[in-house]
A and B are shown apart, each in its own frame.
Chain A
Amino acid sequence: MKIDFKHQQAAHCENGVTSNLLRYYGIELSEPMVFGIGSGYFFSHMPFYKLNGMPVTSFRVWPGMIFKRVTKRLGIKVKRNKYKDSRRAMNDLDRLLAEGKPVGMLVGVFHLPYFPREYRFHFNAHNITAFGKEGDQYYISDPVMEHVEVLTAEELKKVRFAKGTYPPSGRMYYITGVPDQINLKPAIIKGIRQTAKDMLTIPIPFFGVRGIRVLAKRMRNWPVKLGNKSAVLNLGQVIRMLEEIGTGGAGFRFIFAAFLEECAVILDIPRLNDVSREMTAVGDRWREFAYHAARVFKNRDNGMTTYEMLADMLLTIADMEEHVFKQLRTISL
């Protein structure tokens, strides 16, 4: 059986899954809207939390947060499950699909057969939707893919129970009830305010604007502390986290700018257009950073000055982001 589900591509997987699920239940929200209301924008650099043996740098909130926040802020009822037993995880999925409910899932990309091989690292925060099953095959809406994909039961089980940093443990989520009326404006305000708060006020230095400054400070020391080779690898990892499918750091800045542009109209606050343009400039700076960083690791013996330069760029970005969110912190209807 196959649910009549419209697959629409997105820049980011969790936005896409959330937006596609909402559309199925008659709520049409753009990807930027989902991202903004869900307060998906974030920054963290966590030296204590590792991927491929190197610190995790992330440009968005923890997996699952966007879906959780969007649905909560719009008064939509959802259910989320996590499993130890993979058979139960698959049985529950089958039951929900038979009931006609599309199901969002957290998966690892390493064993995802339709992904380009080069993109398949042990990255466990990818999101897909299953919307049907025929024989042994599941119909999969993967928001970063252009079209619908299929996975066998065995393949799906494998990616749902991928191992490594932040294992998905069969996590799945679905919508159980939608209110008669959606109140968009207060949800938008909440989304913006939370992002501003998260970016500006978390008292631990690894998060928000302060996190960017921590990364800058540490990056300055990489060549001395880690040696050139390891410094290059760490830089490469930051760029992969910045640009790769599912994380897309600079991309998030542009999505947020698109969100602010939509908000200017919906909330009738024209000055949000100015903030949107400022946010676009932030995204451009992140791309500039990635461009220069790539030059460093293509030309491996560039020396320490380049890391200094990159760190300075990060500090500029941190100031710019701080300026944006200081304007957004006090926004109200």
Chain B
Amino acid sequence: MKVNEVPQDEAFLKEGKIRDLCYVVDDKGHYTKVLSKGWAPKNDAIKLAWTVVYEHAEEIRKQILAGKLSPVAFYMELNVMDTGILANYMNLSRRRIKRHLKMKVFKKLKPELIARYAEVFGIDSQDLTDIERLGDFKPTDENRF
């Protein structure tokens, strides 16, 4: 890559805060460093990853409103976790986490445990217990945490 080919496709990076440092070739064929605000293919890959998360979260949300899945499943998805990572953060077995994803089991959980989930997800306990809150919750970039 040459100096004048360094992409400046702005999306997630911020000038003066965080930019990608690129090693590029100057006019004389020597290596030098240039900062880049981003590159479209990379931005697209990141966007794709989040789109998929939001799509899954939306499906889960519908299943919660239908009484099948629990809000734990929803916030687990929004936090890009799987049951393994969540089990690590909660210090519980994966098996128990999987059970807690079911609305039936979730409803019987003790408040202490719900509070721990809320802490891991960085939300209030009420966000988990008050199902109504998910009624018109659209998983998007703004609503992630």
Contacts and interface: CB of A to CB of B under 8 A. Distances in A.
A159 interface: no
13 contacts: A11-B20, A53-B82, A118-B11, A118-B50, A144-B20, A146-B19, A147-B17, A240-B42, A254-B24, A276-B31, A280-B25, A284-B1, A297-B44
Contact of B144 (A117, A233, A287, A298): A117
A308 B1 CA distance: 25
Interface stretch (A87-95, A128-136, A199-207, A255-263): A255-263
A146 B17 contact: yes
Interface size class of A (residues with CB under 8 A): 35 or more
Interface string A30-56: 001000000000000000000011000
A110 to B, nearest CB: 8
If over half of B's interface residues share one DSSP class (helix, strand or loop), that class is named, otherwise mixed; here it is mixed
- Listed from nearest, the 4 A-B pairs whose CB atoms lie closest are A294-B41, A163-B88, A258-B31, A243-B42
Interface string A273-295: 00011001001100100110110
B111 to A, nearest CB: 23
Contacts of B13: 116
Given A122-B85, A239-B45, A240-B46, A254 B16 contact: no
A307 to B, nearest CB: 16
Interface size class of B (residues with CB under 8 A): 35 or more
A232 interface: yes
A116 B24 contact: no
A75 interface: no
A118 B12 contact: yes
A248 B1 CA distance: 14
A254 B31 CA distance: 9
A28 interface: no
Contacts of A63: none
Given A53-B82, A116-B18, A254-B24, 9 more contacts: A116-B12, A145-B17, A147-B16, A233-B52, A240-B42, A243-B41, A283-B1, A290-B42, A291-B41
Contact of A9 (B1, B21, B31): B21
Interface of B: 1, 11-14, 16-25, 29-31, 33, 35, 39-42, 44-50, 52, 79-82, 84-85, 88-89, 141, 144
A244 interface: yes
A208 interface: no
Given A11-B22, A119-B12, A146-B19, A236 B39 contact: no
Interface string A234-258: 0011011001110010010011011
Contacts of A240: 42, 45-46, 49
Given A119-B46, A121-B80, A257-B31, A11 B23 contact: yes
Interface of A: 9-11, 32, 52-53, 110, 114-119, 121-122, 144-147, 163-164, 167, 232-233, 236-237, 239-240, 243-245, 248, 251, 254-255, 257-258, 261, 276-277, 280, 283-284, 287, 290-291, 293-294, 297-298
Contacts of B21: 9-11, 144
B80 A239 contact: no
Given A9-B21, A145-B17, A257-B23, A244 B1 contact: no
A75 B115 CA distance: 50
Contacts of B33: 11
A283 B13 CA distance: 22
Nearest to A165: B85
Contacts of A284: 1
Contact of B46 (A110, A146, A147, A244): A244
B31 to A, nearest CB: 4
Given A117-B144, A118-B12, A280-B25, A245 B20 contact: yes
Contacts of B24: 254
Nearest to B21: A11
A147 B16 CA distance: 8
A287 B33 CA distance: 17
Contacts of A32: 23, 31
Contacts of A239: 41-42, 45
A145 B42 CA distance: 18
B18 to A, nearest CB: 5
A11 B81 CA distance: 27
B45 A52 contact: no
A117 B40 CA distance: 17
